[in-house]
Amino acid sequence: MDGAKAPAISDVWREVRARLKSEYGPAVFSAELARLRVVDNGPSAVILVAPTAFSKSWVEDHAGARIRALWASFDSARRMVEVLSDRDLATSAAPQAEEADEAEPARQDTAAHAGNVTAMPRDRSGRRSGERFTFDTFMVGPSNELAAVAAKSVINASPSPFNPAFFYGDYGVGKTHLLNAIAHSVELGGQRRKALYLTAEEFLSGFVSAMRARDTMAFKDRVRNVDVLLIDDVHFIAGKPKTEDEFLHTILALMADDRQVILASHSAPGDLPVCDPRLASLLRGGFACQMMKPDLDLRRKILDCKVAQAEKHYPDLDVPEAVRDFLAARITTSARELEGVLNNVIARTALMGRDVTLETVEEALRELAITGERKVTVDDIQRTVAQHFNVKVADIVSKRRNKAIVTPRHIAMYLAKTLTTRSLPDIGRRFGGRDHSTVIHAVKKVVTLIENDDAIAALIDQLVRELGG
C-alpha cells in the first residue's frame, strides 16, 4: 500500500452496504443482505457472516462477485472477502490451520503474490465449495441440452474433442453452474485429474497482483499446472491488452499439452471486444455453444430442484404444486431470478412460521416489484441497437470513435440507463470498461438529440418498443 493507512473495515463495509442497497433495491437488501455482519480476519482478509447456511448460499450465488468488486473499489488494502455462515465461523479455525499446513509451497507462493485469485471460498479445485453446483443439480432442457452433452463429453476425453470450449448466454442461464459441475466431475473422476475454476475478475486481479509483486511465476504455475482450466465471465478480460496477452499464452500452453480450456461469457466469441487478433482467432476457432433462457418445463424442473435443496435447511417447508406451477409460469426471465424469488418467498413464510400459499407468493412478488414481464438487459439493448445500425456489438463496446460507431454507442448507453436498473459504473463496464462519466455524457447527448431531432426521437421510441421497455 506504499505506506498509506488502510481504511477502517467498518467504513468500507458502510460504503459497500450503501451501494448494495442502491443496486439490489430495499426489498432484497432487507431480506438477504442487511443481516450480514463483517468480521476482521487479519490484515489481508475479512469475513462476511451470514446467519444461516441458506443465507450464505444465496449471498454467494446472487451477490458474492459484486460484493468483492465493490470491496476492492473502496478498500486500498485489497483485503480478500470470504462469506461464511455463523456455523462455519464457529468451526473454521482448526480445519483452516490444517489446510495451511498441508498446502504445497507453490500454492502458498500463489496466495502471497496473487491472493485475489481465490477470493471466493473454494475447495482445492478452485470451484465453489459445497455440492450445489453439480451435474445432479443442473437441470437439462431444450435450451441447454447441447451445452450439457458437450460439457460431459470433455470431462474424461483425452485429447479433448473441443478445445477451447466456449459457453455463452445471458445472465442467469446456468453458465457458472455448468462450469462448476465440470470441475466437480473432473476432480471426482477416476483419472486423478486436476481442475481449476476462476472468474475472469479473479484471473485479472491475480495477474495484476503478481505483476506488482514482480513475481508472475507463481501465478503462471497455478493456472497452467492443471488438466482443466475453467474461466467464467471472459468478457471482463477482453479489452485489457496485458491481461489478454497472459490469457492467450495460458490457453496456448495448456492446449499444447492437450489440456482442456473451458470458457464462459455473456457474449459470443465473435462479439467480444478483444484487442489481440491472435486471441480473437483462437476463441472463434473453438467450440461455441449458446445457452438460452429456460422454457416453462425446465423452469419447473429447476424450481423443484431448488425446493428440494431448501428443504434440507427447512424440513417443514411445504411448497404446493400450484405454487410451483404459478412461479414457473410467472418468472420467465432467468433461472437465477426464479431462485431469488423462491428464496424471498421462503424468507417471508418459513422464517416467519407462515404457510406457502398463492396469496403469500403474490404478496412477495408485489414487495419485490416483480410483474413477470420480460426484463430488458444491457445485452438485449446492445444487440438491438447494433442490428438497427448494421454494426457489430463488438464495435459498440470497442474504443473506436468514428461517428458511425459513436452514435449507436451513445443511444445504447442512453437506453441502458433508462430501461435497466444498472448503475452508471456498471453500464460503463459493459461498454468496454468505460468510466461512469462517459455514460453520463452519452445520456445528455442523446437527450439533447431527442429534444432537437424528430427523427432521433422517433428512432428511440421504435427501439424502446422493440425492446419491450
Q: At what angle do helices 358-367 and 321-330 cross, to 10 degrees?
A: 30
Angle, alpha carbons 142-64-129 (nearest 5°): 75
What does the chain come to in residues? 469
Residue with cell 483485503: 79
| 8-state DSSP, 271 | G
Q: What is the rounded CA–CA span in Å between residue 165 and residue 157?
A: 13
**Distance between CA atoms of 56 and 86, rounded to whole angstroms?**
9
SS3 content of the chain, % helix, strand, coil (to 5): 60, 10, 30
Helices 241-256 and 217-224 cross at an angle (nearest 10°) of 50
Ligand-binding site membership of 172 (annotated): yes
Q: H-helix or E-strand containing 229? A: strand 228-232
Distance CA 356, CA 358 (A): 7
Question: Is 286 one of the annotated binding-site residues?
Answer: no
176 is in an annotated binding site: yes
25 marked among binding-site residues: no
Q: H/E/C letters for each residue in 342-381?
A: HHHHHHHHHHHCCCCCHHHHHHHHHHCCCCCCCCCCHHHH
Annotated binding site for ATP: 172, 174-176
Annotated binding site: 172, 174-176
